[in-house]
Every structure is written in C-alpha cells, then in structure tokens.
C-alpha cells in the first residue's frame, strides 16, 4: 500500500483524499501545513492519522512514500525540490512549475535520485480519455482537422494569490494543463505552434479570459476560456467521418461518438471519484519500480510549462514570473 503525505491544506485536499480512498491502492497517513491548526482540522475531518510540525518534518518522515503538493503556484518548485532532495517521490499539482528551467531542474533531481515525479493531472487517466483514444486510433471519425474547447469557469480560484502575477496567478496558468495534457495524450507530445490573447480587467493584472490557438500537424485547435460566464463546457473533436463530444472533459465519465452515417455510440460509466484513476496509475508505477507514466510524460508536462511561460512573457513582459 502506497503511503502518502500531503503538503498543505488546500481546498482540493478533501477531494484528493476521497480519490485515494476510492482507489484502495494507497492511503494518506500524514499532513503538514504552514498553519498547523489547519492541518489538524484537515486531519480530523479526513481521517488522516498524523500531523507533522512543518514541511521539513513531513518530507523526512521515513514512513511516507510519496508527497502530494497542492500549494499556491509559486511554492510548487521550491517545495517539490525540498521533497525530492529528501528522497521522496512527488506528485505536484498543476501548474507544475512557473518556468521550464524549474521543471527541468526538478526532473533532473528526480532522475539522479531515481524518484517518481509527476504533475497531478487526473484528466489523462480517466476511462473516458482511454475510450476516446481508442476511437481515434480506430479511425472512427476519420482524419481529424479541427478541435474546439469551450471552457466556462466562473468558480476559478479568486483568492488574492490566484489573481496575482507575482504569485504565479492567472486563469491560463491555472487551467492550461487540462487541455494541453489531454491533447498530448490523444495526439502525441508537443505542438507545432501556439498563439494566444487574453483579457484582464486592469492593465498588468492576471488574465481572467483567454483564447489559445494551437497547430498540431494538420489539426487546428482552439481553446477558449472565460471566468465571467457560467455555461456548458464543451470539447469537440471534428473528423471527416464524424465527431467526438465530451462534456466537462477534465472530469467526465461520458462521451459521444457521432458518425456522419448515423451509427452513433455513447460511452458512460459510474465514477465515484475522478481522482481515483490517477492514484491507481501512480501506485502501480511506484510499486513496480517505474518512475514515469507513459500517459503523462515529463516531456508532455514540460511542453505545457513552456507554452504558458512563453505566452505569459509575451502578455506580461520578459520579467514574468519575477515581476516586482
């Protein structure tokens, strides 16, 4: 049984712990937070047996196999480095890091120490994504030429740090990993070109809406996200023989295959927790001695980080993320 320690008491922690319990392949045995009272409350509410005094104590605990890090964006790199240098496997929340250089350094440390390091990105491990990839590999909709993602995220984190460029905030950096990871899982690592524009209520403030245009060989991809409207989220892959549609793709348990000949197909399944499949994968990999997932490789993660970094420096200046 994989034993997990959690660094921080973020809002996502209860859902992550529920996913671990649903998986049955791991257990959360400890937690630490900057505010120990918050850690104690989370431990009591979620049935976590041990509360550590600080992050150093957590990463040094011999009984812990993997550290899950859901801290504010700017703390991802230093705290992941702390855990890796202490000899711990790491699951690091998105955005993985703010810069490509930081990502490269973390993966270098992990490789040197023979440790598991992965971005926390549940979407690529969902059964619905496996099904969609099978449809695509079987040429069910023919040659794909276009893909459109429309995200409406009115519940995007509006805490002060999440909208502060100095803390690594912004809608694109918060959400980019979902579409970019899923697209690379389905169509292969990397993109040929990436362009983007954004909207912010004030100059030099973090983006709240954005439009991203990607090119992947013959496929044109449009990613549109707004935090100002509450509408249905759509993800549609268009091919010459039909299309594939997924609602709420980052946490979905259903998809539709719509063929031009009318022979349509629906896929759905029960899903108590969208986090459990990621935990299953991690536990299996670590228990078998593997340090990387083929579904979410370091190269895929670094591609995402570089696209975000390049566009943010285009939007907010070359000093990003070290804005003063």
Q: What is the dihedral of CA 281, 287, 293, 296, to 10 degrees?
A: 40
Is residue 161 scored above 90 in pLDDT?
no
Query: What architecture does CATH give domain 124-276+304-316?
Result: 2-Layer Sandwich (3.30)
**E strands of 116-207, at which residues?**
117-120, 144-152, 193-199
Question: Would you say residue 157 has pLDDT above 90?
Answer: no
CA atoms within 13 A on the CB side of 169: 18
Region for residue 193 given its phi and psi (left: phi exceeds 0; alpha: psi -120 to 50; beta: otherwise) = beta
The first and second tokens of residue 181, run together, are 């990871």
- The Cα–Cα gap between 75 and 249 comes to 27
How many CB atoms neighbour CB 161 within 10 A?
14
Average pLDDT of span 192-218: 94
For the chain, residues classed under CATH 3.30.360.10 are: 124-276+304-316
**Between the CA atoms of 160, 163, 167 and 171, what dihedral angle is there, to the nearest 10 degrees?**
140
With respect to CATH, is domain 2-120 assigned 1.10.510.10? no
Given a contact cutoff of 8 angstroms between Cβ atoms, the answer to whether 66 and 90 are in contact is yes
> Residue 217, by phi and psi: left (phi above 0), alpha (psi -120 to 50) or beta?
left
pLDDT in tens, 61-108: 999 999 999 999 999 999 999 999 999 999 999 999 999 999 999 999
pLDDT above 90 (res 46):
yes
Asked whether residue 204 carries a pLDDT value surpassing 80, the answer given is: no
What pLDDT, in 10s, does the model give residues 296-323? Answer: 999 999 999 999 999 999 999 999 998 8
Q: Is the pTM of this model over 0.85?
A: yes
Within the chain, all domains assigned CATH 3.40.50.720 are found at 2-120
Tokens found for residue 76:
């991802």
CB 182 within 8 A of CB 277: no
The two beta strands, 26-32 and 219-226, are unpaired
CB 213 within 8 A of CB 138: no
């Amino acid at each position: 049984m994989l034993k997990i320690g959690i660094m921080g008491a973020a809002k996502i922690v209860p859902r992550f712990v529920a996913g671990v319990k649903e998986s049955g392949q791991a257990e959360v045995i400890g937690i630490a937070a900057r505010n120990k009272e918050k850690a104690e409350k989370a431990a009591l509410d979620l049935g976590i047996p041990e509360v550590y005094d600080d992050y150093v104590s957590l990463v040094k605990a011999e009984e812990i196999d993997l550290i899950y890090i859901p801290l504010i964006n700017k703390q991802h790199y230093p705290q992941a480095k702390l855990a890796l240098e202490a000899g711990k496997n790491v699951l690091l929340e998105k955005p993985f890091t703010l810069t490509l250089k930081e990502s490269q350094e973390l993966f270098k440390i992990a490789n040197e120490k023979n440790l598991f390091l992965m971005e926390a990105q549940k979407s690529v491990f969902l059964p619905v994504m496996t099904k969609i990839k099978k449809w695509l590999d079987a040429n069910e909709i023919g040659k794909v030429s276009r893909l459109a993602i429309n995200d409406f995220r009115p519940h995007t984190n509006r805490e002060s740090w999440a909208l502060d460029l100095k803390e690594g905030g912004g809608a694109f950096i918060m959400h980019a990993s979902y579409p970019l990871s899923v697209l690379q899982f389905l169509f292969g690592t990397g993109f040929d070109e990436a362009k983007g524009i954004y909207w912010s209520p004030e100059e030099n403030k973090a983006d709240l809406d954005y439009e991203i245009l990607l090119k992947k060989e013959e496929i044109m991809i449009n990613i549109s996200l707004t935090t100002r409207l509450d509408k249905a989220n759509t993800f549609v892959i268009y091919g010459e023989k039909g299309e594939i549609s997924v609602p709420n793709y980052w946490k979905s348990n259903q998809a539709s295959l719509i063929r031009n000949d009318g022979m349509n197909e629906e896929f759905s399944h029960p899903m108590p927790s969208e986090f459990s499949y990621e935990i299953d994968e991690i536990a299996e990999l670590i228990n078998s001695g593997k340090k990387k997932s083929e579904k979410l490789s370091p190269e895929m993660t670094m591609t995402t980080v570089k696209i975000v970094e390049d566009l943010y420096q285009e939007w907010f200046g070359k000093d990003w993320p070290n804005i003063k």
